[in-house]
Amino acid sequence: MARTWPVVFGVALGVSLLVPASPAAAHNSLTGSDPRDGARLASAPARIELRFLASLDPASTKVTVTGPDNVPAAGGDVRFAGSRATVAFRPGKAGLYIVGYQVASSDGHPVTGEVRFTLTTGTPAESATPGGAPSSPSGAAPAVPSPTASGPPAASPTAAVPAARESESDGRGWLWALGGALALAALAGTLALRRRRSPNP
C-alpha–C-alpha distance, residues 64 and 23, integer Å: 27
Q: What is the average pLDDT value for the chain, to the nearest integer?
A: 73
Question: What would the pLDDT profile of 122-173 be if each residue is shown by its tens digit?
Answer: 875 444 344 444 444 444 444 555 544 445 555 544 444 444 444 444 445 5
pTM score, two decimals?
Answer: 0.52
pLDDT of residue 3: 55
What kind and span of H or E run contains 164? helix 157-197
C-alpha–C-alpha distance, residues 111 and 24, integer Å: 12
The reply to whether omega before 35 is within 30° of 0 (cis) is yes
Low-confidence ranges of the chain (pLDDT < 70): 1-26, 124-179, 193, 196-201
Nearest to 115 by CA among 36, 21, 10: 36
pLDDT of residue 100: 98
Burial class (CB in 10 A: 0-12, 13-18, 19+), 119: buried
C-alpha–C-alpha distance, residues 54 and 104, integer Å: 10
